[in-house]
Amino acid sequence: MSSARARTNRVLGLAPVWLLIGGLLLAPLLLVVAIAFTEQGAYGGVDWTFSGAAFVSLLYNVDFDGTASVEWSYVQIFLTSAALAGATTAICLLVGFPVAYFISRQPPSRRSVLMLLVAIPFWTDLLVRIYAWMIILGNDGLIASALSALGAGWLYRNILFTPKAILLGMTYNYLPLMILPLCSSLEKLDGRLIEAAADLYASRWSRMKDVIIPLTAPGIAAGCMLVFIPAVGDFVTPTIIGGGKTLLFGNLVALQFGSAHNWPFGAAIAVVMLLLIGCAGTLPLLIRRRLGRVA
């Protein structure tokens, strides 16, 4: 078969992907950016004139007489979302790294079973997983019932419908997304390098700090991004076990396409969210460059 023919076949093979993901992901995303720079129509739709009003209203509250005052509530929601997603990522890394390391040092047959064990909760419906925590945490939930049955009901502190519950729920949801990429990165790590470090009198801590962690940095970065991206857009966890009391980015976006019906504003928030993720995505690169300079 001629190479030109093979080339045509390859392009034909890739055409459906470009049609599907290009048409239903790239095109809509461009549309979001476009709509973010329009004005809200009189009947809730979009008025196609160029305007930065949606972005301005993220920061300023413009009155009818034209005076503007700084609107802190959206900044606060932005910071809360970023902080919760960042904290979730950090906790998942701390909790998940030892787990992934342990799995990666097992014989291959056992390793795949253990990875499946970690993956199953991830393959369960997000809503079901969060709802399960409601049964455990609530005022008449399992922990409360168990403690009061033991006569220690006073020990119980209800964290349901607080930011703590959101953090717990998000950590629970996204932990497998941290462990699995860490595992695949760690299992490629050559054990002889660790032995060599040990032979050269590196302490166990130094082996971890100077050998294992730098060599698995790409896996760590991948895991952090995989956790951070859904965490920053999560609106299910804050709605259900946050009781809807803590508004996050995702809630704000969903609101604009529901009851608030302000498309340009919703699109502007979505654009800010994508920018935040873009910034967070370059962070691992910067850190690696710093580390590379040190080493």
Partner 1 sequence: MAASEVKRSGGAPAHDSAPRRPVRALLAPDRYRGFGVWFGFVVVFLYAPIVTLVVYSFNDGDMIGMWRGVSLRWYQATLADGSVRKALANTLIVALFATLIAVSVATAAAVAIVRGAGRFERLSERLIALPLAIPEIVLAIATLMLFALIDLGSSITTLVLAHAVFCTPFAFMPIRTALAQISVSMEEAARDLYCTPAECFRLVTLPLLAPGIVAGAMLSLVMSIDDFITSYILSGPGNTTVPVYIFSMIRQGVTPQINALSSLLFGLSLLLVAGFWFSSRRS
Q: Of residues 72-91, which lie at the interface with partner 1 (CB under 8 A)?
A: none
Residue 136 makes contact with partner 1 by CB under 8 A = yes
Q: Output the smallest distance, CB 85 to partner 1, in A.
A: 10
Footprint on residues 143-172 left by partner 1 (CB under 8 A) = 144-145, 172
Between 61 and 80, whose beta carbon lies closer to partner 1? 80
Tell me which of 4, 70, 128, 286 binds partner 1, using CB under 8 A: 128
> What is the distance between the terminal CA atoms of the chain, rounded to a whole angstrom?
50
Query: In the set 118, 165, 221, 280, which binds partner 1 (CB under 8 A)?
Result: 118
| Of positions 59, 62, 68, 117, contacts partner 1 by CB under 8 A | 117
To partner 1, the closest distance from the beta carbon of 127 in angstroms equals 5
Cβ proximity of 165 and 241 under 8 Å: yes
3-class secondary-structure state, position 205: helix
The encoded tokens of residue 157 equal 């502190």
Q: Longest C-alpha distance within the chain, in Å? A: 81
The C-alpha atoms of residue 24 and residue 104 are separated, in whole angstroms, by 37
Q: What angle do CA 127, 244, 246 make, to 5 degrees?
A: 115
Q: For residue 73, which of 57, 62, 88 has the smallest C-alpha distance?
A: 57
CB contact at 8 A, 220 and 90: no
x-marked contacts with partner 1 along 26-65 as a string, rule CB under 8 A: xxxx-xx--x------------------------------
Near partner 1 by CB under 8 A: residue from 68, 75, 79, 120: 120
Does 255 participate in binding partner 1 (rule CB under 8 A)?
A: no
What number of CA atoms fall less than 13 Å from residue 176's CA on the CB side?
14
Q: Which is nearer to partner 1, 1 or 286 (CB)?
A: 1
Residue with tokens 């709802």: 131
Stretch that binds partner 1, among 51-59, 62-70, 151-159, 229-237 (CB under 8 A): 229-237
- Per-residue x/- mask for partner 1, residues 172 to 211, rule CB under 8 A? x--xx--------------x--xx-xx-----x--xx---
Q: How far is the CB of 68 from partner 1 (least distance, A)?
A: 27
Closest CB to partner 1 among 13 and 66?
13
Residue 141: strand, helix, or coil:
coil
- Minimum CB separation of residue 280 from partner 1 in Å reads 11
How many C-alpha atoms does 277 have within 13 Å on its Cβ side?
17
Q: Is 67 exposed, middle or buried (0-12, 13-18, 19+ CB in 10 A)?
A: exposed
DSSP states of 186-240: HTTS-HHHHHHHHHTT--HHHHIIIIIHHHTHHHHHHHHHHHHHHHHH--HHHHH
> What is the DSSP code (8-state) at residue 152?
-
- Minimum Å gap between C-beta 75 and partner 1 is 19
* Chain residues 265-294 in contact with partner 1, contact rule CB under 8 A: 266-267, 270, 273-274, 277
Q: Could you say which of 43, 50, 64, 123 contacts partner 1 (CB under 8 A)?
A: 123
Asked if 229 interacts with partner 1 (CB under 8 A), we say yes
Around Cβ 137, how many Cβ atoms within 10 Å? 22
Which CB sits closer to partner 1, 57 or 251? Answer: 251
